[in-house]
Every structure is written in C-alpha cells, then in structure tokens.
C-alpha cells in the first residue's frame, strides 16, 4: 500500500544514478538514423549509438521489415525441446563469421548473462574433464564484464565495488593487463603459481570499454593466447562491445589472428533493436559437456533465450553487414575521427586523444563536474555521455560526415569552454 502523505519519488529507477535530486531524464519520443527526437521538440545527434548498439543507425528499414514479418509469424517460442528458423539461421551466420571452430552458440538476453554463462562453461569444462580446483577466473584491472554478481567479481575491483560487496561474490585473480615484457613475465609467474585454481582468463580484446576506452595492441592478445596455452587455461574473449565491426574488423580477435576458447557477443548483435546475447564455444569446450552422465550438461536456460524476434533482428543486422559496405564505412569514419578530434589535443585539460576503428576518445585530466558537461553537450544538440575522465564517440557506422562533424565540433566547443570544470 502506498502512503499518499509521502512526497512523490520517481517511479523509474535509473541506471548508475544517485536518485536523490537526480536531474530529470530527457524524454525520447522517436529515433531516426542518428537522431534522437525529444518530447520537447529538440533533436539530438547521437554520438554513442545507445550504448554502442545501434550500429546501422536507428530504425533501419531492413531490420524493421524483417522484424515486422517475424512478429506476424512467431515472436517467441521456448527453446526447450524446440528450435526455429531464426535461431538456426543466426547460428549458421555466427559460426560462419567467427574464426576457427567457434561453432556452438548458447543464447541469453543480456551481455552480463552471456559472461556468466561463459564463466560457468569454463569452470564446468574442467570439472567435466575430471580436473578439480579450477574455480577461479583471471581478469584484468580496468576490465568490465557486466553488472550481475558473478560478473562484478571479474570487473575492475574499484568499479566493480569489490570492497562494498566483499564476501558476497567469489574472489577472482585480478592482474594488470600486460603491456610489456616485464608485465608479461609477471603474469607468467602469477599463472605458474595459480594455474591449478584458474579455469580461464577473461579479457575485452583491444579495448577495455566501460573501464575508460583504454586500448591495447593486438600483440597483447596473441601473448595472452600463448600464456593460456602454456598454462593450460581457457581464454574467454568478451567481445560484447568490440564485436560487429567496432574496432575496424568484424571481431577484434581477428586483428591478433587468435581464436578464443569462448567468445561473448551482445550490444550490436541485433543492430541496437532488441535484447540478445550469445556465448559461443569451440568444439573442445562443447565436447567436454558430451557425456552419458546427465550432471555433465550445461545447466542454464533463460526463459526467453534465442527469442525468435531477436534472432531475426540479428540476422537482418548481419545481412546489412553483407549488403552494405560497413567495414569500408568504419575505415572512413575512423579517418574522420582521427583528423576531427585532433584539435582537442591542444585544449587545456586534455590528456590524450585516441582513435581505434569507430571509437574516438578524448581523455581529460579529470572531469570535475560531470552533470555540467553532460548538460553542455545537450545544449550543443548532441547526445554524448562522458564518464570517468573521458568524452568519447561510438557513432552508428552509417553516420553522415555532416553529423559526425557536428559531434566533434560539439566536443571541441564544450571542452574549450571548460564545461567539465566546476563553475567558479
């Protein structure tokens, strides 16, 4: 029962938000291409594609048409004991696109759960093979793998709130991402000591996204693959952010010519339309679950797994990668980000400017007033969401040069005006 004498509090609990006196969120009414139209009549150029998902822009007619057809036929049917054409088609497509023998697709509804499934797969892989004690994951500082309890345990200790939740979730092995011979050697030593406790290494390839858009070269990944092989642990690549073109290749792992044992995908999988995620395993991982003992099966099955409408959207999105010159567009976009963001480097308070594929980052010394900076960007008519100490762009691959210039100009203007500083 509600007490009508209490003051009204917001009914919608917003993500990552202190709800006490939170600025009221803007109301989105409709989207088209790379524009978000607000209820109050304003239109914002979208620089981040709704948390990196809407890679073909909003309301792409091809995805819409395919989804509309599927909605009329069968939006959903349970996957227990049944499969359907959209999930078969999507699995065929993913297996064909992914490198090596990443041939076995397990579907969930969100990235975090896809990572949870990857963690369960890796731990049970060893149990099923009769190897005991390998219950931990090795992950890296500044990493981000999701918000559920188990995935928090493999996130950056600070951002994953490891001290607040101490004792709640399992303690993992967390290391610095190795960037040189010395740090590779210490990771090697760490693995020598702890390999009997470790089921898998998990890493975001090429870019630690939510941790601050921190890049590393492909060699880091090939060295991690070699270390995983040397110490006989599995390698999980979390390509939830990097998958589907964002770093310039369809998958980031292609740039290192490595094949992980397990890969997780979500974000741009359905072109930003509807929730879907996949955890894809190599043959040897899948085979470890084949047994006459029922207890060896993977015990996981989200109610809405492989939702037919979502699988259709994902197929339609992958059809667009085939039909339209996406990777060329990403290369062109990358070059424009390089030249267009470069002038920011000279601005006071800017520490670094970097670009990888369709990711452009301006790193500041510090963002003193995040709310002020966000508001200043909206005043410029753009939707850009700075966090930590970065202002970044991850636009739709289909963005027009004009819209991209508007985004980059807006960043330059607000940083030049010092909108990230506390007002004096």
Ligand X SMILES: *Cc1c(COP(=O)(O)O)cnc(C)c1O
> What's the number of CA atoms in the CB half-sphere (13 Å) around residue 148?
12
Transcribe 63-112 into DSSP letters.
Answer: HHHHHHHHHHH-S----TT---HHHHHHHHHHHHHSSTTEEEEEEESSHH
Closer Cβ to ligand X, 224 or 408, answer by number: 224
119 contributes a contact to ligand X by CB under 6 A: no
Tell me: is residue 144 an annotated ligand-binding position: yes
Helix/strand/coil for 223: helix
| Dihedral over Cα of 188, 192, 194, 198: its sign | positive
Long-range CB contacts (< 8 A, 24+ apart) of 348-356?
348/418, 349/415, 349/418, 349/420, 349/421, 350/415, 351/389, 354/213, 354/215, 356/206, 356/207, 356/215, 356/247, 356/248
Query: 144 an active-site residue?
Result: yes
271 labeled binding residue? no
**Given the residues 144, 261, 374, 392, the one annotated as active site:** 144
Q: Does 116 bind ligand X (CB under 6 A)?
A: no
Of the listed 142, 267, 374, 392, which one is catalytic? Answer: 267
Residues between 247 and 286 that touch ligand X (CB under 6 A): 266-267
State which of residues 204, 227, 336, 354 lies at the interface with ligand X (CB under 6 A): 204
Q: Which CA distances in Å does 278 have to 93, 114, 423?
A: 12, 6, 45
16, 20, 180, 422: the catalytic one is: 16
Q: Is 209 in the site for ligand X (CB under 6 A)?
A: yes
> Could you tell me which residues are beta bridge partners of residue 215?
207
Binding-site member from 199, 210, 314, 411 for ligand X (CB under 6 A):
210
Q: Whole-number minimum distance, CB 402 to ligand X, in Å?
A: 29
Which of these ranges, 55-63, 66-74, 204-212, 253-261, lies near ligand X under the rule CB under 6 A?
204-212
Judged by CB under 6 A, the stretch of 41-49, 67-75, 138-146, 313-321 that binds ligand X is: 138-146
Residues in the chain: 424
Q: Give yes or no: 125 in active site.
A: no
Nearest CB to ligand X, comparing residues 144 and 420:
144
47, 57, 86, 111: residue in contact with ligand X (rule CB under 6 A): 111
| Residue closest to ligand X when measured from CB atoms | 111
Kindly write down the DSSP assignment for every residue of 316-384, as one continuous string.
Answer: HHHHHHHHS-HHHHHHHHHHHHHHHHGGGGGSTTEEEEEEETTEEEEEES--S-HHHHHHHHHHTTEE-
Q: Is residue 238 annotated as part of the catalytic site, yes or no?
A: yes
Based on the shown chain and the rule CB under 6 A, indicate whether residue 243 belongs to the binding site for ligand X.
no
Residue of 46, 116, 156, 238 interacting with ligand X (CB under 6 A) = 238
Give the integer Cα–Cα distance in Å for 294 and 226: 34
**Among 10-18, 90-98, 105-113, 217-225, the segment contacting ligand X (CB under 6 A):** 105-113
Whether 230 is catalytic is no
Per CB under 6 A, 146 contacts ligand X:
yes
What whole-number distance in Å separates Cα of residue 246 and Cα of residue 260?
18
Question: Which helix (H) or strand (E) element contains residue 422?
Answer: none
Contact 271, 39 (CB under 8 A): no
State the nearest-atom distance from the C-beta of 241 to ligand X, in Å. 4
By CB under 6 A, which span of 202-210, 285-293, 310-318, 338-346 interacts with ligand X?
202-210
Point out the annotated binding site for substrate. 51, 144, 267, 301, 385
Positions in the binding site for ligand X (CB under 6 A): 110-112, 115, 144-146, 204, 209-210, 238, 240-241, 266-267
Point out the annotated binding site for pyridoxal 5'-phosphate. 111-112, 238, 302-303
Give the residue numbers marked as catalytic.
16, 144, 238, 267
């Amino acid at each position: 029962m509600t007490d009508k004498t209490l003051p009204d509090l917001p009914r919608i609990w917003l993500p990552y938000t202190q709800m006490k006196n939170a600025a009221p969120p803007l109301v989105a009414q409709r989207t088209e291409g790379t524009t978000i139209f607000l209820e109050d009549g304003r239109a914002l150029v979208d620089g981040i594609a709704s948390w990196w998902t809407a890679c073909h822009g909003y309301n792409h007619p091809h995805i819409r048409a395919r989804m509309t057809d599927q909605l009329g036929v069968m939006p959903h049917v349970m996957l227990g004991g049944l499969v359907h054409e959209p999930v078969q088609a999507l699995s065929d497509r993913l297996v064909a696109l992914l490198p090596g023998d990443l041939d076995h697709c397990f579907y969930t509804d969100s990235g975090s759960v896809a990572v949870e499934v990857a963690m369960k797969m890796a731990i049970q892989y060893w149990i099923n093979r009769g190897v005991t004690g390998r219950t931990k994951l090795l992950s890296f500082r500044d990493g981000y793998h999701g918000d559920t309890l188990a995935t928090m345990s493999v996130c950056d200790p600070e951002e994953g709130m490891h001290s607040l939740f101490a004792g709640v979730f399992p303690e993992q092995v967390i290391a610095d991402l190795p960037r040189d011979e010395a740090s590779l050697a210490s990771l090697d030593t760490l693995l020598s000591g702890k390999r009997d406790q470790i089921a898998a290494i998990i890493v975001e390839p090429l870019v630690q996204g939510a941790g601050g858009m921190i890049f590393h070269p492909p060699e880091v990944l090939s060295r991690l693959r070699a270390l995983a092989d040397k110490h006989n642990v599995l390698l999980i690549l979390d390509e939830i952010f990097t998958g589907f073109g964002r770093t310039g290749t369809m998958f980031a792992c292609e740039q290192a010519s490595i094949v992980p044992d397990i890969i997780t995908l979500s974000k741009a999988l359905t072109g930003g339309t509807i929730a879907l995620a996949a955890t894809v395993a190599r043959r040897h991982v899948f085979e470890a679950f084949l047994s006459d003992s029922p207890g060896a099966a993977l015990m996981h099955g989200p109610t809405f797994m492989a939702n037919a409408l979502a699988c259709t959207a994902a197929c339609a999105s992958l059809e667009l990668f085939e039909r339209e010159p996406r990777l060329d567009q990403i290369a062109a976009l990358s070059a424009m980000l390089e030249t267009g963001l470069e002038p920011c480097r000279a601005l006071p308070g800017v520490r670094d400017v970097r670009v990888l594929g369709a990711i452009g980052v301006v790193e500041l010394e510090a963002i003193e007033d995040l709310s002020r900076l966000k508001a200043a960007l909206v005043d410029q008519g753009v939707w850009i969401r700075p966090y930590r100490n970065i202002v970044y762009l991850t636009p739709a691959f289909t963005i027009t040069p004009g819209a991209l210039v508007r985004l980059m100009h807006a960043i330059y203007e607000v940083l030049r005006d010092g909108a990230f500083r506390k007002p004096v």
